[in-house]
Amino acid sequence: MSAQSTLENTLKEILRVVKPLREDWTTRLQIIDELRGAVESVESLRGATVEPFGSFVSDLFTRWGDLDVSIEFSNGSFVSPYGKKQKQRLLGDVTRAMRQKGGWRRYQLIPNARVPILKVESNLRNVSCDISIDNLKCQMKSRLLFWISEIDTRFRDMVLLVKEWAKAHNINNPKFGTFNSYSLTLLVVFHFQTCAPAIFPPLKDIYPGNLIDDLKGTFHLSRGDLIFFTNWPLIISNLWKFE
C-alpha dihedral sign at 196, 202, 205, 211: positive
Q: Is the pLDDT of residue 232 over 50?
A: no
Q: Is the pLDDT of residue 195 over 60?
A: yes
| Residue 215 confidence class, pLDDT cut points 50, 70, 90 | low
pTM (two decimals): 0.80
What is the rounded (10 degree) CA torsion for 109, 115, 121, 127? -170
Q: Percent of the chain at pLDDT above 90?
A: 56
With contact defined as beta carbons under 8 Å apart, do 109 and 93 qualify? no
Q: Is 187 exposed, middle or buried (0-12, 13-18, 19+ CB in 10 A)?
A: middle
For residue 97, CA distances in Å to 36, 44, 66, 68, 79 come to 11, 11, 21, 18, 26
Domains of the chain from N-terminus onward: 3-135 (3.30.460.10), 139-242 (no CATH)
Q: Is the pLDDT of residue 241 over 60?
A: no
- For residues 141 and 208, give the distance between their C-alpha atoms in angstroms, rounded to a whole number: 15
pLDDT at 112: 84
Q: Which tens digit of pLDDT belongs to each residue from 39-51?
A: 998 888 888 899 9
Q: Is the pLDDT of residue 84 over 50?
A: yes
- Residue 46, Cβ neighbours under 10 Å: how many? 10
Contacts of 42 (CB under 8 A, 6+ apart): 93, 94, 96, 97
pLDDT at 212: 59
- For residues 156 and 161, give the distance between their C-alpha atoms in angstroms, rounded to a whole number: 9
pLDDT at 221: 37
pLDDT at 143: 85
Residue 112 DSSP SS3: coil
